[in-house]
Amino acid sequence: MAKISLKKLKHSYYPAPKKPEDYALKEIDLSWLDGGAYALLGPSGCGKSTLLNIISGLLVPSEGHVLFDDKDVTMLTPAERNIAQVFQFPVIYDTMTVYNNLAFPLRNRGIEEARVDTRVREIAKMLELDEMLDRRASRLTPDNKQKISMGRGLVRDDVNVIMFDEPLTVIDPLLKWKLRSKLKELHQKTKATMIYVTHDQTEALTFADQVVVMQEGEIVQIGTPIELFERPAHTFVGHFIGSPGMNVLPCEIKDGKAYFQGDQVEIEGEINPTNSTKTELGVRPEFITFGKKGVPAVVKKIVDLGKHYVIECMCADFRVNVVSVSNQQNAGDAVHLSFKPQQTRVYADGWIASKDGSK
């Protein structure tokens, strides 16, 4: 196991990149502690898979370094780095039995057969594959195949890190949930460093202790699931995490105060001085209530999601979602919306521009 640091990492798929758009990764500095569970979250094409392949050694970055503990591994092959990776589609060796599939990485490293046998049986038991060790791997269901892929990573007890590249894509929704909790359980048992790449916020937030959100080759925010939810550093994170996402409304800043549609809105703390022409208010639907005072709006649509309602309102031309456990509104009602000041923030050019009032 090892601590992983990325230093000034840049990558471009073009031989001679010039513009910033030529880079799939724009400049990544990051460090991950030994034994943690991390997630890389972002939409398709944000560079998360590129980053993963650089860490595993399948890609050599254009610039920058990858360090395991304090050893520079940038130029080492995946085998030399001693890592494991599970891919989007299950990769299994069709002609081998489940047992031989699991034993393969160990045998390639010349480990004695007695030790191989113990490890394979141990891991098979953990993954509930012990019943089918003698079966041909090609005849299994996709979720069992994916378990074998994971097993081949876990079977080596000296791996520096295990990486998962959207491993649940081909799995049925019901089994997805099972496999995800299995993974969490395995992390607790093995204490291996795990990096989990996904575009699915639920997967990232339930698996990881710390989530790295990426967009267009850049890291937008690193934080615990709660931090990402409560205080998005960028409107993108606000949109991307949460369902429905954060309400983002244009606002004006005058004398350190924020105004929406001419009305002053209370926010969490001081606003950083800014010259930006694009200033916005961000408030999650969970932190808006209906009241006597506040921003006037008209209820447009009410969606019953079972455990709560999503009430869609219009403030002039802007849509504001409100999440509420109970509902007294009807479509067409005129209402006033009050934003919880501690959870209302100002963003300038997308980035957070108000100071955290709780500190």
User: Is residue 96 part of the contact set for other proteins (CB under 8 A)?
Assistant: yes
- CB of residue 298 vs other proteins: minimum separation in angstroms? 37
In terms of phi and psi (left: phi > 0; alpha: psi -120 to 50; beta: otherwise), the region of 332 is left
User: Is residue 58 part of the contact set for other proteins (CB under 8 A)?
Assistant: yes
User: Is residue 289 part of the contact set for other proteins (CB under 8 A)?
Assistant: no
Cα–Cα separations (whole angstroms), residue 19 to 16, 24, 269: 10, 11, 37
User: Is residue 89 part of the contact set for other proteins (CB under 8 A)?
Assistant: yes
User: Is residue 111 part of the contact set for other proteins (CB under 8 A)?
Assistant: no
User: Is residue 61 part of the contact set for other proteins (CB under 8 A)?
Assistant: no
Which residue type is seen at 169? T
Contact map string, positions 119 to 158, toward other proteins, x by CB under 8 A: -------------------x----------x--x------
Binding residue (CB under 8 A) for other proteins from 18, 44, 94, 275: 94
- CB of residue 115 vs other proteins: minimum separation in angstroms? 16
Binding residue (CB under 8 A) for other proteins from 3, 63, 76, 87: 87
Number of residues in contact with other proteins, rule: CB under 8 A?
Answer: 24
- Give the orientation angle of helix 98-108 with respect to helix 113-126, to 10 degrees: 130
Q: Are 4 and 167 in contact (CB under 8 A)?
A: no
User: Is residue 76 part of the contact set for other proteins (CB under 8 A)?
Assistant: no
What is the rounded CA–CA span in Å between residue 68 and residue 235? 33
- CB of residue 109 vs other proteins: minimum separation in angstroms? 6
Of 109 and 189, nearer to other proteins (C-beta) is 109
User: Is residue 97 part of the contact set for other proteins (CB under 8 A)?
Assistant: no
User: Is residue 95 part of the contact set for other proteins (CB under 8 A)?
Assistant: yes
- CB of residue 317 vs other proteins: minimum separation in angstroms? 35
Of 87 and 351, nearer to other proteins (C-beta) is 87
- CB of residue 96 vs other proteins: minimum separation in angstroms? 7
Contact map string, positions 292 to 331, toward other proteins, x by CB under 8 A: ----------------------------------------
For residue 147 the two structure tokens come to 């378990």
Closest to 146 (Cα-Cα) out of 98, 202, 195, 208: 98
Binding residue (CB under 8 A) for other proteins from 6, 83, 267, 271: 83
List residues binding other proteins (CB under 8 A). 53, 56, 58, 77-79, 83-85, 87-89, 91, 93-96, 104-105, 108-109, 138, 149, 152
